[in-house]
Amino acid sequence: MIKKHHSDIKPSEITDKETYLNRRQFLQGGAALALGLGLPGCDASEPKLAAPPPASSRKKLASTKNGAFSINEAQTSYKDITRYNNFYEFSTDKAGPAKLSKAFVTRPWTLTVDGEVSKPQTFDIEDILKSFPLEERIYRLRCVEAWSMVIPWIGFPLADLIKKTDPTSRAKYVAFETLYDPKQMPGQQTGLFGSGLKWPYVEGLRIDEAMHPLTLLSVGLYGEVLANQNGAPIRLVVPWKYGFKSIKSIVKITLLEKQPPTTWNISAPREYGFYSNVNPKVPHPRWSQARERRIGEFSKRKTLMFNGYADQVTSLYTGMDLKKFY
């Protein structure tokens, strides 16, 4: 059971959803460059935020509320969730993805699952929305640069999708891949607008992490389909890991026998490990991870082990040195 901490704000203290919050205090001391690259979403400047998509253009999603996995904490506003984003395929600036992804095409869209499976399949996004019961889960999202949100995701367990492909006994890892389309995604371009990362963006989990009931494939938030800047049309959410593990706009999932490469580990292996579990006792090489700033709050709070999901996931890492396997 998730226990509510005294530092959590009360619902009555939540800033109105449509009120703009001063970001300057949130961003002080948050910037550095890793190996000549921007960190995963790190930006010291006060962003000029784009307006959220108009309510009339947003498609509703029917879902059931899942109280068993949801936390009881004040949710980050829709405005902040859709205007303060890490999505390097579009921009390294927090406000950039909302501005530059407006014309991003998410239909038609297919997701292929292959590799160590007996029944490789390609799923159409519309079939996914019809075939998998959707539920709302309120999860924390903790980013490596020490800011966090509480988001009401809509989706379904990744395990449900994987099971349809009948994994073989050789499947030890799960690799993920984002769409590669530099024409639509300016951050994937080389030169001035590119981030310097190797594309397409790739991520990975161990099979037991992927099959854990907390691991979610999200297709929406706040009762609506995902906004483009939030990873439309389908993204991963792994709430006990740093946010860059939750890969966006997925087009391919491959089950493997050996550990797959991951984008940030390729770019800066000393700073970003394969596991990337939220761990206040393991600092980033250039700053502490012991405290975080919740978007919508002015004071910092203590970072929780496994982002507050220790009761559910600690058993996955029994006997592991979490400083070595960071």
Residues spanned by the domain of 121: 11-316
Nearest to 38 by CA among 103, 100, 90, 99: 90
Given this model, what pLDDT does residue 282 score? Answer: 96
| Mean pLDDT value across residues 196-217 | 96
Assess if residue 133 is contained within a domain. yes
Q: Which residue has the tokens 């761990």?
A: 279
Q: What is the pLDDT of residues 148-160, one digit of tens each?
A: 999 999 999 999 9
Is 313:2 a contact under the CB 8 Å cutoff? no
Q: What is the pLDDT of residues 286-309, one digit of tens each?
A: 999 999 999 999 999 999 999 999
Assess if residue 213 is contained within a domain. yes
pLDDT grade for 13, boundaries at 50, 70 and 90: very low
Assess if residue 324 is contained within a domain. no
Residue 68 C-beta-side C-alpha neighbours within 13 Å: 5
Per-residue tokens: 258: 């050996």
Number of domains present in the structure of the chain: 1
| H/E stretch holding 3 | none
Q: Which of 5-19, 63-77, 249-263 has the lowest mean pLDDT?
A: 5-19
DSSP class of residue 211 equals T
| Mean pLDDT value across residues 220-226 | 98
Assess if residue 255 is contained within a domain. yes
Assess if residue 189 is contained within a domain. yes
Assess if residue 6 is contained within a domain. no
Is 181:251 a contact under the CB 8 Å cutoff? no
Per-residue tokens: 316: 């996955």
Assess if residue 323 is contained within a domain. no
| Mean pLDDT value across residues 13-24 | 37
Assess if residue 140 is contained within a domain. yes
pLDDT grade for 212, boundaries at 50, 70 and 90: very high
Domain of residue 33, CATH code: 3.90.420.10
